[in-house]
Structure 1
Amino acid sequence: MKRLSHSLMLALLGLRDLLLSAGPLALIAVGVLVAAYIYLDPQPPRTVRLATGPQGSAYATFGERYAAALKPNGIQVELIPTEGSLENLRLLREGRADLGFVRGGVADPVADPEAGILSLGALFYEPLWVFYRPNAVRRPETLRSSGAERREGLAQAELSSLAGLRLLRLGTDRPGSGVPELVARMLSANRIDAKRMRITAETPDDAAAALIAGRLDAIVLASAPESPRVQQLLRSPGIALLDLGQAEAYTRIFPFLTAVTLPRGVVDLASDVPPKDVSLVATTTSLLTREDTHPALRQLFAQAAQTLHGHAGWFNRAREFPNTRASELPVSTEGDRAINGTPPVWQRWLPFWASNLLERMWLVIGGLIVLLLPLSRVVPPLYTFRVRRRVFRWYARLRDIEARMESDPGARDVLLDELDELDRVANKVTVPLSYAEELYALRHNIEQARRRLLARPRG
């Protein structure tokens, strides 16, 4: 038991010497890491503001999904209901939101990047849905001008272009959504002044209800297929969807538009809804963010987008979204890496906080390793010095005794007592076994001095 206790004491003593020898390097490393941590601020805030859209819209639905996706990482997503893309962009510009869904054609490709607005990638198509009541198109009173036009209107059961909306009671979304502005631009391309039309701006829910009730003849919505009101209108009897045969022409006039096709039967195969392929135009909705939003939050949203928008939809195949091709604004580093790059290996195995810490501070850690490698060479000499110092410090006293042996032969008994005391002290010195030779050499030299002193006659 005593031997075990002695071995443990030697081990602890060696560990203490090693820690004290490496202490200066450890202090340098800790100081650099603390300073880098404070400067880089790698850990993101726990709350982030996401501008979504009206209640019940696809934007609001996706906002809730993002909130659920980030919750396991300890991030609370504060959802900000808005009128739509225009208001979302305004909140981003004013710094009142950190991220927001914005429809293509709304952002300024020049001014917004200069103001620090970036994209995390294009997320999904947002078609322009034009729903109308076919019986309203047939009504003679909806047609004016010549008799030929009136006979054509009576025979016509479907709208074939936006020009057919000219004489109908039309409902659009509210101005904050950006839809009225887009509709006005498209009508203007048909040489139609939207100000002369009977256009009502109201919420999509109210507009859909008014269309179903017959208070409106047509409505224009811009929304993803996931929108509950789009799903409702596609299945409502007496409501038709405009087949925009001029879709390709609109994409040439408005570059932010894309021609898409709603395949036959994709809404309901059993009921064959729609009964034929329908041509539409669509904008591409992107997730925009501010440049000063914490990089870790941008990374989390970009990674969540891969899961939420990577599946096949009515207008796209699997893994077509998110993408960087349809983004009107510069894509942030985090978005580009999540979409086009390969995530680091450690993200698969480490929790978010550890992965993010390594991600943000790897350059500092790498530089610190490069700095400490040459400096670490001083640790072994320091360790050796500390251990040997315990032994060598007593040589000064031994040398003093030996000097007095020559100068004061009469102090024989006093010097013997001092040598005995020095020997007792040396016996209590503990060093690692690898340095025991120096300790035994000290004790041997003490013994040699004692013998020389004893060999001398008393003064």
Structure 2
Amino acid sequence: MKPSSGRKAPPRLVARFVAISWRDLALSFGPIVFISALAIWAAVRLIQPAPPTTLTLSAGPKDSSFWNSAQKYKAILARNHITLNVLPSEGSLDNLKRLSTPGSNVDVGFVQDGVALHATHEGLASLGSVAYVPLVIFYRGTPRTRLSEFAGEHLAIGAEGSGTRELALALLKANGIVPGGPTTLAPLSGEDAAAALISGKVDAAFLAGDSAQPPVMNQLYRTPNVLLYDFIQADAYARRFPYLTKITLPMGSFNLGQNVPSSPVYLVAPTVELVARDTLHPALSDLLIEAAREVHGKAGLLQQAGEFPAPRAHDFPLSDNALRYYQSGKSFLYRSLPFWLASLADRLLVLLVPLIVVLIPSMRLVPALYAWRVKSRIYRWYGTLIAIEREALSDITAAERQALLERLDVIEESVNGLKMPLAYADQFYVLREHIGFVRSRLSRSHVWHATPPDAPKA
């Protein structure tokens, strides 16, 4: 049967077939690219910046042991193209003050345990202890067994701001001796304190660190009527002051041939911590601990080889990076590559992880998403076709049938204008066949209703 004269003829085929639908491909990639970009953004937010090439260390007085150690640190870090600026200071208290001052630009410093015991220093962390600082006391007169026996005398306890003075004040206070009392506490240290003791100007000299150099100690030990104080209560001091360690000065330490001293002498010693700002780059933390191992790790009179640096922290928390280093050492990259290259690779890996974890698995979804987008343009017409076919199966008037045919024309026109990849041409033609099938059902329905079964034949 010919179509009604009031209805347009079916539209001609204007479909365009292409090798790839770039629009669908782009939209398929879109969610994956967005998720990957989000993952990379999060990684960039978390990634450590490149380590700075310059550090500043607050050491101690020029030509002191820690000043000299800092110069060795400087040479070691220079191997990895890191410049270490070494600043002289008055001692541990001065170093601590600089580290605690935001605008001082000091990144790391040597701080003797005990000087910051009752203060809160936020933003600072320990990289570990690097050495003992034994307290040695020489005195005049008869043997003493308790520090309280020095009450009322003249004592040289170290210069203002030094760790020696802070330690001496803490131990004397535990024995009832405080500033302002009958005991005179002179700010003398090192050779000045030794000379005052030899000349009789002071009754005892408290020496620690650079003040207790072997030549000074040997000279005092040989001075008539000058004795070396033996901390026979060393165990009690170490328990009362957790930052102190009981150590033993071996027999013959000053002179093996003459066996000086002739018996072991007990001493107490705080440790010195390498303290840094908690913003110190992890890679530089590793370099500093390695430098400390090279400088302080050898055997000495009062320590065994490899005893320092050690994860001992008293006044400051041990940093997470230092703890990781002491437990497992340097990472594989820093063990295998030059420092600058390992630092670059370390940061690149942070960017590669989201690409590997998110982007690569997601790429497997692209073909499925692409196929779904292309097929969806075809499948969305099937619902309309089914609705038209169901209406055609029911009793409809000529006007209703005409409306259905017009709706079918719209569908066919839209389908014929689709832009389709060649790989899906078969599904395109199947849809057109189904449109023709529904059209034929509408036509048969028209014939059926136009000529009822019981009507007389011509």
Name the counterpart of 2:135: 128
Secondary structure at the aligned position of 1:300 is classed as: helix
Structure 1 residue 345 and structure 2 residue 332: aligned?
A: yes
CA RMSD of aligned residues (A): 3.3
Name the counterpart of 1:188: 173
Give, in whole Å, the separation in 2 of the partners of 1:333 and 1:180.
31
Give, in whole Å, the separation in 1 of the partners of 2:191 and 2:78.
29
Name the counterpart of 2:451: none
Give, in whole Å, the separation in 2 of the partners of 1:348 and 1:55.
34
Name the counterpart of 1:44: 51
Give, in whole Å, the separation in 2 of the partners of 1:378 and 1:340.
42
Structure 1 contact 42–356 (Cα < 8 Å) conserved? no
Equivalent residue pairs, number: 329
Structure 1 residue 222 and structure 2 residue 229: aligned?
A: no
Name the counterpart of 2:370: none
Give, in whole Å, the separation in 1 of the partners of 2:137 and 2:77.
35
Name the counterpart of 1:450: none
1:59 corresponds, among 58, 66, 73, to 66
Partner amino acid, structure 2, of 1:83: E
Relative distance call for 1:186 and 1:88 in structure 2 (3 A) is: same
Relative distance call for 1:89 and 1:110 in structure 2 (3 A) is: closer
Secondary structure at the aligned position of 1:131 is classed as: strand
Give, in whole Å, the separation in 1 of the partners of 2:227 and 2:75.
35
How many Å apart are 1:185 and its aligned residue? 2.5
Name the counterpart of 2:239: 252
Structure 1 contact 124–284 (Cα < 8 Å) conserved? yes
Relative distance call for 1:203 and 1:183 in structure 2 (3 A) is: closer
Which deviates the most, 88-97 or 264-273? 264-273
Structure 1 contact 244–279 (Cα < 8 Å) conserved? yes
Give, in whole Å, the separation in 2 of the partners of 1:74 and 1:30.
34
Partner amino acid, structure 2, of 1:201: P
Give, in whole Å, the separation in 1 of the partners of 2:108 and 2:238.
28
Structure 1 contact 161–242 (Cα < 8 Å) conserved? no
Name the counterpart of 2:215: 232
Give, in whole Å, the separation in 2 of the partners of 1:267 and 1:334.
40
Structure 1 contact 303–338 (Cα < 8 Å) conserved? no
How many Å apart are 1:70 and its aligned residue? 0.7
How many Å apart are 1:109 and its aligned residue? 7.4
Show the 5 A alignment for 1:157-168.
158-168=143-153
Give, in whole Å, the separation in 2 of the partners of 1:76 and 1:213.
46
Structure 1 contact 258–283 (Cα < 8 Å) conserved? yes
2:97 corresponds, among 72, 90, 94, to 90
1:204 corresponds, among 171, 187, 190, to 190
Secondary structure at the aligned position of 1:183 is classed as: helix
Show the 5 A alignment for 1:33-432.
40=47, 42-95=49-102, 96=104, 97-108=106-117, 111-112=120-121, 115-132=122-139, 136-137=140-141, 156=142, 158-195=143-180, 196-212=182-198, 214-223=200-209, 227=210, 229-236=212-219, 237-238=222-223, 240-374=227-361
How many Å apart are 1:30 and its aligned residue? 12
Secondary structure at the aligned position of 2:134 is classed as: strand
- Superposition TM-score, scaled by structure 2 size: 0.64
How many Å apart are 1:92 and its aligned residue? 0.7
Relative distance call for 1:234 and 1:204 in structure 2 (3 A) is: closer
Structure 2 contact 100–124 (Cα < 8 Å) conserved? yes
Name the counterpart of 2:425: none
Name the counterpart of 2:443: none
How many Å apart are 1:286 and its aligned residue? 0.8
Give, in whole Å, the separation in 2 of the partners of 1:54 and 1:209.
20
Q: Deviations over 1:84-115 (max 9, x none)?
A: 11111111110321111111112247722xx1
Give, in whole Å, the separation in 2 of the partners of 1:44 and 1:63.
20
Give, in whole Å, the separation in 1 of the partners of 2:84 and 2:199.
37
Relative distance call for 1:109 and 1:168 in structure 2 (3 A) is: closer
Partner amino acid, structure 2, of 1:55: K
Secondary structure at the aligned position of 1:221 is classed as: strand
Give, in whole Å, the separation in 2 of the partners of 1:92 and 1:366.
36
Structure 1 contact 57–228 (Cα < 8 Å) conserved? no
Higher share of residues assigned helix: 1
Secondary structure at the aligned position of 1:233 is classed as: helix
Give, in whole Å, the separation in 2 of the partners of 1:360 and 1:202.
51
How many Å apart are 1:245 and its aligned residue? 1.2
How many Å apart are 1:75 and its aligned residue? 1.3
Structure 1 contact 302–334 (Cα < 8 Å) conserved? no
Secondary structure at the aligned position of 1:366 is classed as: helix
Partner amino acid, structure 2, of 1:231: P
Secondary structure at the aligned position of 2:161 is classed as: helix
Give, in whole Å, the separation in 1 of the partners of 2:280 and 2:201.
45
Structure 2 contact 131–296 (Cα < 8 Å) conserved? yes
Partner amino acid, structure 1, of 2:97: R
Give, in whole Å, the separation in 2 of the partners of 1:187 and 1:94.
30
Structure 2 contact 286–330 (Cα < 8 Å) conserved? no
Relative distance call for 1:360 and 1:221 in structure 2 (3 A) is: farther
5+ residue gaps, structure 1, are 1-23, 138-155, 381-459
How many Å apart are 1:345 and its aligned residue? 2.8
5+ residue gaps, structure 2, are 1-29, 368-458
How many Å apart are 1:353 and its aligned residue? 0.8
Name the counterpart of 1:438: none
Partner amino acid, structure 1, of 2:145: S
